[in-house]
């Protein structure tokens, strides 16, 4: 094999290697950006879920407070009425 032919093949192999490396780098960059987008979406979803859960707890606490207040006020009124009528 001539030295010229060997050098040509080596340059060609090096060029192919560089192209493959660049393609791989671009693919990794695309994948990294994709993972970053997915991570941000999951983070927002977890935040919304926690916010929804807190809102639900506050609503149930409010409803329970209203019912408890109504029960206490009704009991106090009936007790007072009983005392006044007896």
Residue 75 parent element (H or E): helix 3-85
DSSP state of 1: -
Residue with tokens 């780098």: 25
Q: What is the C-alpha separation between 23 and 18, in angstroms, rounded?
A: 9
Structure tokens at 8: 């040509």
Taken in order 10, 12, 18, 21, the sign of the CA dihedral is: negative
Q: Can you give the pTM of this predicted structure?
A: 0.57
Query: What was the pLDDT predicted at 86?
Result: 87
- pLDDT tens profile 18-65: 999 999 999 999 999 999 999 999 999 999 999 999 999 999 999 999
How many residues are there in the chain? Answer: 86
Query: What was the pLDDT predicted at 1?
Result: 52
């Amino acid at each position: 094999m001539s030295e010229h032919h060997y050098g040509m093949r080596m340059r060609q192999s090096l060029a192919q290697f560089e192209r493959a490396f660049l393609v791989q780098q671009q693919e990794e960059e695309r994948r990294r950006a994709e993972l970053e987008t997915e991570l941000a979406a999951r983070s927002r979803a977890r935040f919304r879920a926690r916010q929804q859960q807190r809102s639900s707890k506050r609503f149930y606490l409010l409803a329970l407070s209203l019912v408890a207040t109504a029960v206490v006020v009704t009991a106090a009124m009936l007790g007072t009425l009983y005392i006044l009528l007896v």
